[in-house]
Structure 1
Amino acid sequence: MTSTIETPSTHTTAAFAERLFTAVLATIDVQAAYLGGRLGWYRALAGGDALTSSELARRCGTAERYTREWLEQQAVTGVLTCDDAPDTAGRRYTLPPGHAEVLVDELSPNHVLPLARFIAAAGKQLDALAEAYRTGGGVSWAQHGADLREAQAAANRPMFLGALGESYLPAIPDVDAALRSGARAADVGCGHGWSAIGIALAYPYATVDGYDLDAPSIEAARRNAAEAGVGDRVRFHHSTPAATAGPYDVVFAFEVVHDLPDPVTVLASMRALAGPSGTVVVMDERVADEFTAPGDEIERLMYGYSLLCCLADGMAHPPSAATGTVMRADRLRDYARRAGFGDVEVLDIADDFFRFYRLTGEAS
């Protein structure tokens, strides 16, 4: 992924018209990818078979005419390849293996389809978002529903089941050692549970308690833990963690602090859960340290998430800190100090999208 920043010399009518037109084409590709994932078309093609529109429609239980139009669009836009049969009905379409990994391999770091699903799902609430923008109200994750929730969980799943336990947590020596020796860990705002499950898979002696206020997410997390074979060491709770649940050796919050309407109170509760000897680790977005316009692709992506989801979710629960996705390091430091921590250390863990923080000490 590149990080191109426009220069003022590109600020012409023609250049911007071309940019917006290109964005329209990309948006069409995103919507088409959403349909391909939701209707099972990509997965049916991922086996390597070259299928006609009728064959794909039968496999997926879809109407042939719609299936054919989608196949033709996907071939025209370069996602699928097809033969040159003159008979439209007999034309066969193939999903290249490299594209299949991006579209159907749920554990691959290159599995980008969930991001397309997220953007398409968020678009369903544009009327509600416009009303919230007018009134100062909000649109909650619950209002967005299963599509957005599942897309978010799927987007982070490869990292949580891979790099988190394989390289990120081992890069924090004391946390790694504690987990290896059977630490108790808490995962605050656990969602579908992949972070807690990833920790348990990487550290066979650790136990993890996941907490979340979204009931459907907790139900999914329990299913996921059972299917992963760690249901005996990972427990999920539809609640905030009570002070009596601690002390924990490690308390985590993975990509959740910026969503919280009251981050200071939650961070204070995490501090209490860790007690005097536990460790608090926060993972959140790797945004720039300061606002700069124009920004790079990561900054553009995070502002997009904020516009379509995160800011409106935070504001759906007043009174709200109204953080939004673009929570810079200094803002987290402010929240942490108000929660009673003395300092926030940025950990030396390289990830394109996420930054890891250790919250330490007591406020003076």
Structure 2
Amino acid sequence: MRAADPQKLDALVGRLVGDVGASVTGALIVLGDQLGLYKAMADGKPVTSRQLAEKTGLKERYLREWLAGQASAGYVEYDEASDSFSLSPEQAMAFAEEDSPAFFAGAFEIVQSMWVDEPKVEEAFRSGSGLGWHEHSKCLFRGTERFFRPGYNAHLTAEWIPALDGVQAKLERGAVVADVGCGHGSSTILMAKAYPQSRFYGFDYHGPSIERAREEAQKAGVGDRIVFERASAKDFPEQKYDLVTMFDCLHDMGDPVGAGKHVRESLARDGSWMIVEPFAHDHLKDNLNPVGRIFYGASTMICTPASLSQEVGLGLGAQAGEMRLRKVAMDAGFSQFRRATETPFNMVFEVRG
């Protein structure tokens, strides 16, 4: 066994201390989010732990410790002179404002599901049987919707759809759209609100998510323009759609090529398939960065097990990259594939032909 380099060991331990701190703080973020503490502090006014207790009806001693932990992480501001805590405008955007493009609390619910479901994933590693999306804890479904919704709010109708060839004009005139793998329906609802002349169909194999999507559509006032149905990517009803969308879900499918073939059969003659996937380069070495770290972790605990639990079990993973996604589209029979636009977290592809 090689002798350890003391300096390298110190550096590694330093990183581990940071990671343990991040893991512990993640639990505190979920706790504060669930208890409504960030929203209670969203006005930015300084509060002592006692004042926050009066405001929320929670116990002061617990709040004192939580606030200290958040201040240690740099997620709330602390003023020693008044022994008070506050949220800066930036911290409020990240933790209290659900529609903010920087809202991050939902991401920690996804991380929570990884810890809760770790024994199930461990068994999948041993058996190779996979772990279906529906077999995860509820915090994954809720966290996924809350994490992705701010990005869709910021980019979907303002940037992504306009980057597609002629699609926005179709939607403005009146088109038929299928949102496949719609989850709680955030993307579907957003499109329905932006394009009132069009008709939308949301499909997901997860029954509870479809029920939630229907509720959210009614709350948003677009229930009359969206039909949510339980269906998989390979058997959703064919209607010669002008646009089929898949948001951050193609890599989760066991048979993405089969799904692509069904999309091709379901599109109108000049229809488009919009694929939104996690940002990734084609080679592993180029993904060894903070964003890749998050996506590879989620892929290990959620995405790859989901794919391996299904027929074919291709296991693309959340860092599939453009080359592999292009191959899926070509194998499904499409002739045109291009990257329409991108963000630091997503790639948007337009597939036709």
Give the TM-score taking structure 1 as reference length.
0.88
Partner of 1:153: 145
Paired residue for 2:162, among 153, 170, 192?
170
In the alignment, structure 1 residue 116 sits paired with structure 2 residue 112 = no
Determine if contact 2:199/2:226 at 8 Å carries over to the other structure.
yes
Determine if contact 1:79/1:99 at 8 Å carries over to the other structure.
yes
CA distance in 1, matches of 2:194, 2:258: 30
CA distance in 1, matches of 2:50, 2:336: 62
In the alignment, structure 1 residue 272 sits paired with structure 2 residue 268 = no
Q: Which of the two has greater strand per residue?
A: 2
Amino acid at match of 2:74: G
Partner of 2:31: 35
In the alignment, structure 1 residue 44 sits paired with structure 2 residue 44 = no
CA distance in 2, matches of 1:53, 1:140: 42
Paired residue for 2:178, among 181, 186, 198?
186
Give the CA deviation at 1:149.
0.8
Which sits farther off after the overlay, 174-183 or 320-329?
320-329
Give the TM-score taking structure 2 as reference length.
0.91
In the alignment, structure 1 residue 137 sits paired with structure 2 residue 129 = yes
Give the CA deviation at 1:342.
2.3
* CA distance 1:203–1:293, shift in 2 (3 Å): closer
Consecutive unaligned residues of structure 1, counting only runs of 5 or more, are: 1-8
In the alignment, structure 1 residue 103 sits paired with structure 2 residue 95 = yes
Give the CA deviation at 1:156.
1.2
3-state DSSP of counterpart to 1:275 = strand
Amino acid at match of 2:96: V
CA distance in 2, matches of 1:134, 1:284: 28
- The 5-angstrom pairing of residues 163-242 of structure 1 reads 163-240=155-232
Determine if contact 1:180/1:206 at 8 Å carries over to the other structure.
yes
CA distance in 1, matches of 2:171, 2:108: 35
Partner of 1:79: 75
Partner of 1:246: 239
Superposition RMSD on alpha carbons, in Å? 2.3
CA distance in 1, matches of 2:14, 2:59: 35
Amino acid at match of 1:24: V
CA distance in 2, matches of 1:261, 1:190: 17
Partner of 2:15: 19
Give the CA deviation at 1:75.
2.2
Give the CA deviation at 1:337.
2.3
Amino acid at match of 2:147: A
Determine if contact 1:34/1:116 at 8 Å carries over to the other structure.
yes
* CA distance 1:112–1:176, shift in 2 (3 Å): same
Determine if contact 1:288/1:299 at 8 Å carries over to the other structure.
no
Amino acid at match of 2:308: M
Identity %: 32
* CA distance 1:271–1:224, shift in 2 (3 Å): same
3-state DSSP of counterpart to 2:201 = strand
* CA distance 1:294–1:155, shift in 2 (3 Å): closer
Partner of 2:345: 353
Amino acid at match of 1:26: A
* CA distance 1:213–1:92, shift in 2 (3 Å): same
Paired residue for 2:65, among 50, 66, 69?
69
CA distance in 2, matches of 1:204, 1:274: 21
3-state DSSP of counterpart to 2:231 = coil
Give the CA deviation at 1:216.
1.5
Summarize deviations over 1:316-362 as a string: whole Å, max 9, x none.
33441122211122212222222222242222x1311111112222x
CA distance in 2, matches of 1:195, 1:70: 34
Summarize deviations over 1:119-170 as a string: whole Å, max 9, x none.
1232111122122112212233222222111111111112223321012211
Give the CA deviation at 1:61.
4.7
CA distance in 2, matches of 1:112, 1:153: 11
Determine if contact 1:333/1:343 at 8 Å carries over to the other structure.
no
3-state DSSP of counterpart to 1:249 = strand
Give the CA deviation at 1:303.
0.6
Determine if contact 1:46/1:100 at 8 Å carries over to the other structure.
yes
Amino acid at match of 1:129: V
* CA distance 1:25–1:168, shift in 2 (3 Å): same
Amino acid at match of 1:220: R
Determine if contact 2:112/2:139 at 8 Å carries over to the other structure.
no
Determine if contact 2:39/2:97 at 8 Å carries over to the other structure.
no
* CA distance 1:126–1:277, shift in 2 (3 Å): same
3-state DSSP of counterpart to 2:325 = helix
Partner of 1:3: none
3-state DSSP of counterpart to 1:292 = helix
